[in-house]
Amino acid sequence: MNGPVRSRTPRPHPTGGTDMKLLAIYLNDHLAGATAGTQRVGHLARASRGTALGRALDGVAAEIAEDRATLLEIMRDLDVPVRHYKVWAGWAAEKAARLKGNGRLVRRSPLSTVLELEALRLAVEGKAAGWTTLRRLAPSDERLDPALLDTLLDRAERQQDAVEEWRVHEAETALSTPGRAAA
């Protein structure tokens, strides 16, 4: 899938009163979250390879990776430097979250998929909140492309819907009593 269409025309600097220091912190925090989210969805797609969930997550994973790349482009357009220690922290936090056993020591627990989908849902919601914030700043900062941000918001909503559908399915499957079909 192709990413959002971006204009390569340089944009003038902001006309409003955006606090660039705070915006830089905010965007770097979102970049840390995007790094964790990209790692999480990639791990879950690999763990589910060969299943309907894995196939569904392959497309979501590609979009989430594109969204992270777009965030880096937006940061570049805004002259916001990447704080690599925050990126590393997001990466490390996601790896540490995988250590939770979820009731099994040797093989993957069905509960792991449910909890990973819940974490992914929260990550996509956080990303959407970030796009919403930038969209609200766009009228006062011409470096922000409102059409691009609208596209990113629409895509985040579709991602939320897809992840939620699978989360519900996997929760019903994992938490149902063996031998009983989920309602």
**Domains in the chain with CATH codes:** 20-99+108-175 (1.20.1260)
Instruction: Give the global pTM.
Output: 0.78
pLDDT of residue 16: 58
What is the C-alpha to C-alpha distance for residues 183 and 169, in angstroms, rounded to an integer? 10
Q: How confident is the model at residue 9 (pLDDT cuts 50, 70, 90)?
A: very low
Whole-number percent of the chain with pLDDT over 90: 58
Report whether pLDDT(10) > 50. Answer: no
Checking if the pLDDT of 96 tops 70, the result is no
Instruction: Quote the pLDDT of residue 109.
Output: 74
pLDDT at 112: 84
pLDDT for residue 55: 93
Region 70-77: what's the mean pLDDT?
A: 96
CA-based nearest residue to 32, from 83, 86, 94, 84: 86
Burial per residue of 68-93, b for 16 or more beta-carbon CB atoms within 10 angstroms, e otherwise = bebbbebbeebebeebeebbeebeee
Angle at 86 between CA 141 and CA 78, to 5 degrees: 15
